[in-house]
Structure 1
Amino acid sequence: MHRPHPAEAEVAEELAAVRPALLTRYAAELPGARAAVLTRLWRALAHEPLPWITDRDQGREGRTLRLGDGRRLHGPAPDPYATAAYVTVVRLDGVAYEHPARLMTDLAVPHCVDFAAELAHSVASLALSRAGQEGHTDEWPACDREWEQRVVDGHPYHPGCRSRPGFSVAEQFAYGPEHRPLVALGMLPVRAEECLVTGVWPDDMRDGGRLLLPVHPWQAAHVLKRTCDEVLTAHPLMSLRTLAVPGGPHVKTALSARLTSSVRDISVYSISLSATLSAFADSLAARADGLLHVTRTLGAATADSPDLAAVLRESPQTYASTERGERVVPVAALATTTLPESPAWLAEFTRLTLTVGLRLLELGVALEAHGQNLLVVLSATGAPLRLVYRDLADIRVSPARLARHGVPVPDLSGRIVTDDVPALRRKLFGSLVAGALAGTAGSARALRGALESAVLDLPRTPDLVALLEEPLPAKALTLMRMSPGTPGDQWAELPNPLRWKGR
């Protein structure tokens, strides 16, 4: 029997006090959660440029990694695009490890202790998320928020897929979208002259000369140390910090907690650019031949602090026709349906996303088109019709490319602006192909088949040639977590799925 990790025991102890009826189910979900996180970790070890791994050998019985101190780490042949939990054990110098946190601890490499703690929390939280799915049906949801809440396992490739440090078990049940709660956002009054506002801040979120800023209750309790008299009830969406107000907008709140890779605050920089980016995106979508909508930013405000800010956006459901039976589905939720099991459907979906993504890249905009930001409008029969994109805060814009195509260059500055071609391609290919499409396909074999079919009809631009012939960039998520002194994204090069000869 597997020896429980202390993090698992801590969650079980809290669960016994909060929802004791789920204890048996939680224990039953732990082995699968360990394998799910270990699979993600093994992918990172096998492919990311971790400085303490000096060599990688592929053999008939798997892959062997040589560490800088001479030790050897052996595991199954890795599929860099697999989403199924196929790794149940990895051997370090012959010693078997089933728990990713124990493996990371015994690797004894720089920054392993903190990362091992996150892995342990990811396993326990993932088991908790899965345990809370009693009563869930396989029927397609009737409303958009229910699609978001179907993504129980979190990021398909990040070992910290469900890591929520700082959240108690009770708070995970209260705020985690997979548990389908109703959340009471606090409405914190701040004098208007103390705020930076872009767009239009609605009248019903004002109190005389003060703005009422929506605040996530976790943020209010743990960071701001404030209580709010007025509340706004909303349903948490996939990112946890963004919530859908019934009949109203989506509200993106600051949440100064580390979820997977990042602390989810809202920078003053992103607030200052939000209206400009929203207007620019409207004009950009018009160049996509009706295949793309971008949710408009209605208003954004900050009290000059990343810990106290909010963004109001249109619901993606705005761009579906209920009369025609259309649905707007986050790409990350497609894997919860049977649609990707059809090679023809997967090829059609891949063709749609690449057509839009490469068209915008050629014009000069690289979308951060991962499975959370990218949504697809499905017909009543499930056919992919067009795309919806939300959250413009991390796109990249090339003034040189825009000017070359006669597109007016918006008044932007900072990290969003770059003419660096590799950086633009990494942004799109890493999020769309290595992220959204790979996560939907679920394996290198399925992804390769979809790409082979989809690219036949695409214009052979230099960007497409790079996608066809070069290694595929993907964020080195584990390297980033183990490099606390290195800001920004770091990258791995994955085998090009069109040339992948693995499993």
Structure 2
Amino acid sequence: MDRLLLDAHALDPHTRDPHEAPAEEAALGALLRCWLREVGGPRGHVHAAGPHLTLRVAGTPVRVRVSGGIALRFDGPPEHLAEGRWRPLDLPSLVALVERELDGGNEEFAAQVRAGREAVAAILAARARAVPPADPWLASEQALVAGHPFHPAPKARSGDGWLDYAPETHARFAPRLLGVRADLVAQEGDTTALDAFGDAPAGYVPLPAHPWQLDLLAAELRGPLADGRLVDLGTGPRAIVPTSSVRTVYDPGTGMCLKFSLDVRITNCVRKNAWYELSGAVELTRRLTPVFERLARSFPGTRWLPEPGYRSAALGTRLLEGLGVIVRSGPWAVCGPGTTPVLAGALAAGADGVPEAVLARRAADPVGWWEAYVERVAFPVLDAFFGHGVVLEAHVQNVLVGFDAAGWPVEAVFRDLEGTKLVSGRHDLTGVPGEVAGPLSFDAARGWNRVAYCLFVNHLAEVAATVAGTADGVLRALWAVARESLERYVTDHTTDSVAPLTRLLAGAPLPAKANLGVRWARAADRAAGYVPVPSPFCEAEGERR
């Protein structure tokens, strides 16, 4: 969360909830960052003025102190010029300015932003009463209280009762268990982990289900439950733990993860497993197994979490998708002895959920720690793209970093095949049904934009900003080291084969995903475009000189 304490007058003076101020801080910071990146910057409405950035929103001057480079960390309260004086800027005022500048046209937007703020306040209140998990990896998964720093409503969630299933509140809950009539089971690959959740009656197959999703699907389930196509077998035998994506959970009993469908909008997407994604996960697991074997030989410490199977019920598309569950390996099964996996998102967000040894090592030797981090994370992502035609979505919620006992990054674990794509023309998809093959592929240009955004803008820029804090000199040193590491990678390849990376190191702008734009347009996440942001490697070049 930003190092930003709001003036008490920016809030409702009757509000006594101690969690309102940090919730407002998080929501205000996220929306303002979106505006700076997607609208103010591209329109030329942002200028440096002493220690501040000043911008105009709907003709109103706004100023804020910023550090962290393209991560845009705020070092003081945003202010707007009103009646000739600089006054604290509150969230309702910023929302009104954004709506006026964008000419209205989205009656849902203000409510979504407010819902995000209210969700953070509710999370903080519940979190204060909860006991964090003893598992250090799960503690990092449940540390993302403020959510995506460049999304206008990162914690807004539709539906009721969501706090009971929220990772940020340290939730644990038992799954429900359904029995699917054997002739109606839809499954591919290895699904044996699902059988560990309980026995089904003769003629039925067990299917664990997310209780929140069953509530959402109650109307559609009445018929199949009434006529015996499904049977409700009650509560599962043990608690499962939600990870940062909300719908993916960890099962301590098997050491596996389960990716459920949730008919809930979280950030830009309704989080259900589309039918083609169910089959696509199994297909990608088969194809990526030899790729990751080669990556691990080239870059020791490279790991991944395969998704070997799925199970659902063949009861029409709505329930096939809504009840579909993907089996995923758990990180403790793939990390080496003595290695502790930590979610990269927690490393980017600050100290919460990060082991003390990692914080101490990072503080003692930030540049050395960062160099090891960049090589562990970036090299296999780049080689997957350039060498194997595979687009890994290496944003901070899809990467776990493995640390040794001394706090050094020694492994990188990549997960979530939903966003993994194959570069068109690099893979033979003969025999894969067209409806499955199509969503698995990106052309090279689209693939590189996704790699560059996720790796450099969403991931490395955010972690670097946290490592550097407010010290601009440290931040420049970190990017100088990153540049030198990436140049070493380039020297091992022909210039033409890594041309997009070479252009980036030469100062080409980076692509940043336009989350404000896609939310304002009320479009699907796949319609999100990119806006250019300045390359941090330009300043890094100056640092080296």
Alpha-carbon offset, residue 279 of structure 1: 1.3
1:480 to 518, 532, 537: 518
Identity %: 24
1:136-177 per-residue CA deviation (whole Å, 9 max, x = no partner) reads 899x95443222123332223323222223244xx41x2111
In 2, the alpha carbon distance for the partners of 1:3 and 1:143 equals 37
Q: How does 1:56-135 map to 2 (within 5 A)?
A: 56-61=45-50, 62-66=52-56, 71-76=59-64, 81-82=70-71, 84-86=73-75, 88-91=77-80, 96=87, 98-106=89-97, 107-108=99-100, 109-134=103-128
Conserved? CA contact 1:54–1:66, under 8 Å: no
In 1, the alpha carbon distance for the partners of 2:135 and 2:391 equals 32
- Size of the aligned set, in residue pairs, is 471
Report the equivalent of 1:241: 247
Asked if 1:216 corresponds to 2:220, the answer is no
In 1, the alpha carbon distance for the partners of 2:72 and 2:117 equals 16
Report the equivalent of 2:339: 326
Distance 1:121 1:291, change over 3 A: same
SS in 1 for 2:308: strand
Alpha-carbon offset, residue 282 of structure 1: 1.1
In 2, the alpha carbon distance for the partners of 1:472 and 1:186 equals 44
Conserved? CA contact 1:234–1:245, under 8 Å: yes
Asked if 1:250 corresponds to 2:241, the answer is no
Alpha-carbon offset, residue 265 of structure 1: 0.8
In 1, the alpha carbon distance for the partners of 2:116 and 2:76 equals 16
Distance 1:64 1:151, change over 3 A: closer
In 2, the alpha carbon distance for the partners of 1:42 and 1:176 equals 25
Mean Cα deviation higher: 119-128 or 445-454: 445-454
In 2, the alpha carbon distance for the partners of 1:262 and 1:93 equals 37
1:441-461 per-residue CA deviation (whole Å, 9 max, x = no partner) reads 226853524523432421242
Report the equivalent of 1:498: 537
Root-mean-square deviation (Å):
3.2
Distance 1:275 1:268, change over 3 A: same
In 2, the alpha carbon distance for the partners of 1:130 and 1:189 equals 37
Report the equivalent of 1:313: 328
Report the equivalent of 1:442: 465
In 1, the alpha carbon distance for the partners of 2:12 and 2:323 equals 36
In 2, the alpha carbon distance for the partners of 1:162 and 1:55 equals 29
1:392-423 per-residue CA deviation (whole Å, 9 max, x = no partner) reads 111121143458xxxx98946113212332x1
Report the equivalent of 2:494: none
1:467 to 496, 504, 520: 504
Mean Cα deviation higher: 381-390 or 330-339: 330-339
Distance 1:50 1:3, change over 3 A: closer
Q: Which amino acid aligns with 1:147?
A: S
Q: Which amino acid aligns with 2:246?
A: L
Q: TM-score, normalised by structure 1?
A: 0.84
In 2, the alpha carbon distance for the partners of 1:210 and 1:118 equals 42
- Gaps of at least 5 residues in structure 1 are 10-23
1:81-135 per-residue CA deviation (whole Å, 9 max, x = no partner) reads 4374546334277685633344213433334432221211222222332334447
SS in 1 for 2:264: strand
Asked if 1:292 corresponds to 2:285, the answer is no
SS in 1 for 2:522: coil
Report the equivalent of 1:16: none
In 2, the alpha carbon distance for the partners of 1:467 and 1:499 equals 9
- Gaps of at least 5 residues in structure 2 are 1-7, 223-231, 492-497
Q: How does 1:283-432 map to 2 (within 5 A)?
A: 283-288=290-295, 289=297, 290-303=300-313, 304-305=317-318, 306-322=321-337, 325-334=338-347, 335-336=350-351, 337=354, 338=359, 339-341=361-363, 342-362=366-386, 363-401=388-426, 411=432, 413-421=437-445, 423-432=446-455
Report the equivalent of 1:21: none
